[in-house]
Amino acid sequence: MLIRRYVSILWCDREALLALAGQGLLIAVLLGLVFGKLADVANPFERVTQTRNVMLLLAVSCFWFGANTAAKELVKERVIFQRERDFNLRVPAYLASKLIVLAAISLMQATILFGIVRLWCGLPGMLAAEWLTLCCLAMTGTSIGLLISGIARSEEMATALVPAVVIPQIILAGVVAPLSGLAKWLAKSLISVHWAQLALERLLPQGDLALLNRPKESWVGPFLVVTLHLVVSAALTIPVLRGWGRGTESRHARPFRFILDRVRSSK
């Protein structure tokens, strides 16, 4: 019921849905224009470097899709949520309805982005595994965006927190600069894009891995860490929502309000 209601609300604003789909299309076209066909790069080291950059931008974009779309979806319904909790609205069910619908939107965006870039740029690697990694990262961004929305006190604060979460994903991904010390520890602990980038790079052909002086390793481990970030952020959102408290009406007041409503309806 909650999913059906949420879908109906979103469907009424079809222009916003088209704008969300257009985000993936726009970024894909820009990446295609900037990088072109990767196989046309003559220098193999430069080609691998550009491939890593494309993967980073794909990963960051997919994470941003999820986080940006979800960041205001809880806080803007805070009053409604508190009122409906007086009628035994279950927090996990409410959160699941948001997560499922928003994750579907982020999957659509990630698929549009990856599909166009894959065809335009000729991105090497295993097609299905790369798509699955980016989709999981987009859902992780959605889950973290909902956590931001639960923590924020207003829509403006939620909007302000999104860059504070997305920009470290770029800096600590391990592509812009090598990581060491505290930065490396933070990346391995908190940065979903770092692990998604590692998974994507492990899917490169053996020749590209040799140019990077890396052995052939499984991508499953980093992929599972991204999945873990998804689950943990969703689990943390539940107590945050419970901390919002119930509405102003107490349980003891419900029978009296029911009687008052019956009296008014009889009149």
Query: Rounded to whole angstroms, how far apart are CA atoms 89 and 238?
Result: 13
Residues 239-260 have pLDDT tens digits of 999 888 644 444 433 443 444 3
Residue 118 has pLDDT above 60, yes or no: yes
DSSP string of 90-156? -HHHHHHHHHHHHHHHHHHHHHHHHHHHHHHH---S-HHHHHHHHHHHHHHHHHHHHHHHHH-SSHH
Please, are residues 7 and 103 in contact by the beta-carbon 8 Å criterion? no
CA-closest candidate to residue 228, choices 148, 135, 137: 137
Domain definitions of the chain by residue range: 2-266
Residue 152: φ, ψ to 5°: -65, 145
Burial class (CB in 10 A: 0-12, 13-18, 19+), 158: buried
Assigned token pair, 228: 């873990």
Tallying the residues shown for the chain, one arrives at 267
Q: What is the DSSP letter of 203?
A: T
Average pLDDT, the chain: 88
Residue 17 has pLDDT above 80, yes or no: yes
Q: pLDDT at position 87, please? A: 80
